Amino acid sequence: MRQLDPGAWTPHWPLLLASSAVLLVGYFTTGYLWGRIVAGLGGPRLPVAVSIRLFMIANLGRYVPGKLWQIAGLAALARTRGVPATTAAASAVLGQGIALASATLVGLGAVWTLADGAGWRWAVPLVLFGTMIAGLFPPVFDAVCARWFRLAKTQPPEALRSRDAIGWLAIGLASWLVYATAFWLLVRSFGLDAAFLPTASAFAAAYVLGYVMVFAPAGIGVREGALVALLSPQIGAAAAGAVALIARLWTTLVEVVPAAAFWTRHLATAPAASRPRD
């Protein structure tokens, strides 16, 4: 980091604002997906704005160590909209699984780039795609979901069907393509000559690595280290370190600021019985 000239890191503001707007669209798409899953599991059809608001507020739980605070918060918030707690929790658990699978698919680009010239370059995507396709067959899907819900210590819903999961996975994949594009725009806003595929996919791959490390709230530290490792071949270690730190601040602000606004509105409009007590 000492190799960097701080004065040279002045962003192109229109491009930086565009990257932030695209990132926010990604967050909103994921919130919309959660609402779709709630309805698919037999819960009420929430308005899109309500689904996004509740999801964004619950996302604040990701900044607490452990992966269950977001799920618990979403279940508590959803009760104020008539969603049974079990349905809300199951939807959150399933949504996290879809996000992890989608990010893994998008993150394959980073593996593809690093394996340039290697004989096993085709093996990883073929195995991964084959595994996910096989996982959508009803018997396999039921077994995988049962295992995933056991890991989350949540009861699996009875209304879960593999054909619904195909549509949910498509939305999840779209949201991660949006996230990855937003990150590439962020990198470009600082004048770095970074190719789209390895840069965008590195963001998804780093998310997956940060998620599986349950001790790290919001993957902090792990995600940054992965970004440095994946971006260094393109832009150098020093610049990659700066980008990793900027990306953490960027994702946090774009997530927390709207979530805080939504939380304030929720407190003002929620029934008195549903508000948190001192």
Q: For residue 34, is it within any domain?
A: yes
DSSP state of 150: H
Number of structural domains, the chain? Answer: 1
User: Looking at residues 77-95, what average pLDDT do you find?
Assistant: 87
**Of residues 12 and 163, more confidently modeled:** 12
Q: For residue 101, is it within any domain?
A: yes
Question: In the chain, what percentage of residues exceed pLDDT 90?
Answer: 49
Q: For residue 269, is it within any domain?
A: no
Q: For residue 21, is it within any domain?
A: yes
Taking the chain, what is the end-to-end CA distance rounded to the nearest angstrom?
44
How far apart CA 203 and CA 244 sit, in angstroms, is 9
pLDDT digits (tens, 9 = 90+) for 217-254: 667 788 999 999 999 999 999 999 999 999 999 999 99
Q: For residue 276, is it within any domain?
A: no
State the pLDDT confidence band at 277, using cuts at 50, 70 and 90.
very low
Distance, CA of 224 to chain centre: 15
Q: 81, 48 in Cβ contact below 8 A? A: no
- Which residue range(s) make up the domain with 259? 12-263
How far apart CA 16 and CA 193 sit, in angstroms, is 15
Q: For residue 172, is it within any domain?
A: yes
User: What value does the mean pLDDT of the chain take?
Assistant: 86
Q: 136, 166 in Cβ contact below 8 A? A: yes
The token duo for 126 is 């073929």
The pTM of the whole model exceeds 0.85: yes
Beta strands in 74-222 (DSSP E): none
Q: For residue 71, is it within any domain?
A: yes
CA-nearest of 175, 176, 180 to 194 is 180
DSSP state of 277: P
Residue 278: per-residue pLDDT: 42
Backbone Cα Rg of the chain = 19
> Which amino acid belongs to residue 263?
W
Output b/e per residue, 217-238; b: 16+ Cβ within 10 A. Answer: bbbeebbbebbbbbbeebbeee
**Region of poorest pLDDT, from 14-23, 204-213, 249-258, 261-270:** 261-270
Q: 218, 63 in Cβ contact below 8 A? A: yes
Q: 219, 187 in Cβ contact below 8 A? A: no
CA-nearest of 108, 148, 106 to 127 is 108
Q: For residue 270, is it within any domain?
A: no
User: Looking at residues 210-223, what average pLDDT do you find?
Assistant: 76
